[in-house]
A = this chain, B = another copy of it.
Amino acid sequence: MIRKLIEKIEQTGAPVVVGLDPSLAFLPQHLIEKAKRRHEEAVYGDDELEIIADAVWKFNRGIVDEIADLVPAVKPQIAMYEQFGIPGLMAYEKTVRYCQEKGLIVIGDAKRGDIGSTSAAYATGHLGSVKIGEKEFPAFNTDMVTVNPYLGTDGVKPFVDACNQFDKGIFVLVKTSNPSSGEFQDRKIDGRPLYELVADKVMEWGAGSMDGEWSNVGAVVGATYPAMIAELRVLMPRTFFLVPGYGAQGGTAEDLKLAFDKDGLGAIVNSSRGIIAAYKKDTYAKFGAEHFAEASRQAVMDMIADIGSVL
């Protein structure tokens, strides 16, 4: 799968992934009003969560239609759907399917991780398929997924197995972009920070799932800690990075330059709010809420140019 992602990065010239994280606050009012009207006419219920989920789906579809030719991948954050319960997760699934039909690689930002047998169930649900009799039934079937390493090898291994069995990829949390990520991740063990020990394990897990030059087992490394990105890029030469924290969280193009190798490869940078809620920013306000998707398109083009300028 990582080879497929790299090919698409090269085709588009954009090491950029758009985070589809539809907070309630990002949804334009006209989409909610339209969803309400559709539900008044429908027979199958008028639950507010269904109305919001419907608006979420239309919001995503609008954005995806405008950006699908510009970027290789999208990263829906499943929490933003899970908060709306079952209707929200139905919008998640619909979004995953739609993006894949449009040729985008879908990275499910799920940060799952548990004891072995339980991680196997997560891997089945998000990357694999349930085997019933002789037939296979996929559930969410995203292309890649993020994984939490706190439980160690037996909690991550089932995801690696799924990478090999179904040609999928994962990104394991190594150094996250949030302000308190250092509380545990930066603490020194035998003179080295915990995130480096996690990095060692990520390489070990990844060695069993090479896909060309790079491994299907990637790492999440936050743009907000540039010195650590640089150090991890050297430490992990065959590990692809998913880099959150650009834009709204404060990471700049200059900060994340060091996530890339000398060929300009090795990383894909995420932006969520900065793209999907672009129409709410002064820079793109001229588009107006009705044209939120065009604002997102412009914001993606600007982000690609910004990152391109440092590579």
The reply to whether B153 and A180 contact each other, CB–CB distance below 8 Å, is yes
Q: How far is the CA of A116 from the CA of B52 in the complex (A)?
A: 22
CB distance from A6 to the nearest CB of B (A): 26
Among A75-83, A207-215, A278-286, A288-296, which stretch is in contact with chain B? A75-83
Judging by beta carbons under 8 Å apart, are B178 and A151 in contact? yes
Kindly state the separation between the CA atoms of A27 and B139 in the bound complex, as whole angstroms: 19
Contact A154 to B137, CB < 8 A, known contacts A82-B125, A83-B125, A189-B189: no
Contact residue among B83, B130, B189 (Cβ-Cβ distance under 8 Å from A122): B83
A118 partner residues in chain B, CB cutoff 8 A: 21, 77, 79-80
A24 to B132, Cβ gap below 8 A?
yes
Q: Which of A149, A173, A184, A188 has the most CB of B within 10 A?
A: A184
- Complex Cα gap A48–B129 (Å): 12
- In the complex, how many angstroms separate the beta carbon of A278 from the nearest chain B beta carbon? 17
**A181 partner residues in chain B, CB cutoff 8 A:** 151-152
Chain B residues with CB below 8 A from A24, complex form: 130, 132
User: Which A residues, 41 to 87, have Cβ-Cβ distances below 8 Å to chain B?
Assistant: 47-49, 52, 77, 79-80, 82-86
Instruction: Please name all residues of chain B whose beta carbon is closer than 8 Å to the beta carbon of A119 when the two chains form the complex.
Output: 79
Q: Does A161 contact B (CB under 8 A)?
A: no
Q: Are A154 and B180 in contact (CB under 8 A)?
A: yes
Decide: A115 and B177 in contact? CB cutoff 8 A. Answer: yes
Contact between B183 and A152, CB atoms less than 8 A apart: yes
Task: Report which residue of A111, A150, A194, A198 has the largest number of chain B beta carbons within 10 angstroms of its beta carbon.
Answer: A150
List A residues at the B interface (Cβ < 8 Å). Answer: 21, 23-24, 47-49, 52, 77, 79-80, 82-86, 88-90, 93, 111-119, 121-122, 124-126, 130, 132, 135, 137-140, 148-155, 173, 176-185, 187-190, 194, 197-198, 201, 244
The CA of A86 and the CA of B139, in the complex, are separated in Å by 8
Cross-chain contact A125 with B194 (CB below 8 angstroms): no
- Inter-chain contacts of A125 with B (CB < 8 A): 79, 82-85, 88
Q: Judging by beta carbons under 8 Å apart, are A48 and B194 in contact?
A: no
Measured between beta carbons, the chain B residues less than 8 angstroms from A115 are 176-178, 244
Of residues A77, A178, A185, which shows the largest number of chain B Cβ atoms within 10 Å of its Cβ? A178
- The answer to whether A176 touches B189 (Cβ under 8 A) is no
A132 touches B85 (CB 8 A): no
Q: How far is the CB of A108 from chain B (nearest CB, A)?
A: 11
Q: Report whether B48 and A184 are in contact in the complex, using a CB–CB cutoff of 8 Å.
A: no
* Contact residue among B23, B47, B83, B137 (Cβ-Cβ distance under 8 Å from A49): B137
- Given A86-B86, A118-B79, A149-B150, do A52 and B130 touch, yes or no (CB 8 Å)? yes
| C-alpha spacing A168/B47, complex, angstroms | 24
Which of A49, A135, A180 has most chain B Cβ within 10 Å? Answer: A180
A110 to chain B, nearest CB (A): 9
Question: Closest Cβ of chain B: how far from A81's Cβ, in Å?
Answer: 9
